[in-house]
Amino acid sequence: MISLYDKYFLITFITILITRIWVYIFNKPSPTIKNFRIHHYMYGLFFIVLLFGLSRFYTNIYLLAISTGIFLDEIGFIIIRGKSHEDNYSPKSFMFLLLFILLLFVFRGVIVDYYLSI
């Protein structure tokens, strides 16, 4: 039987893979509002914050995993202060992504337990 921690990690990892493939295939600029470009990591971060805020009343580890995956997909892009589609797929960006996937794997139990306890 697969643990809740492993489900969280696997769903997050699969979300990252799907998002990477989707963004690569459908290379379309994100919307811009008054010179502010919206990236998909912002949606992931918004839902992570929302889910943690609502966790007293409602918890859904699967939505948290999907939101985490959408956010982490661009973590390298954020760290290297990327500007283009090429930056998002640069070796440096991938290295940061792999590092954060490893950290997610190591701390998956801590994250899930904390989310379910607040």
* Domain residue limits, the chain: 4-24+39-117
pLDDT of residue 23: 85
Contacts of 103 (CB under 8 A, 6+ apart): none
Q: What is the pLDDT along the chain (118 residues), one digit of tens a residue?
A: 999 999 999 999 999 999 999 988 887 777 778 887 778 889 999 999 999 999 999 999 999 999 999 999 999 988 998 877 788 888 999 999 999 999 999 999 999 999 999 8
pLDDT of residue 48: 97
Cβ atoms of 52 and 118 closer than 8 Å: yes
Distance of CA 54 to the CA centre of its chain: 19
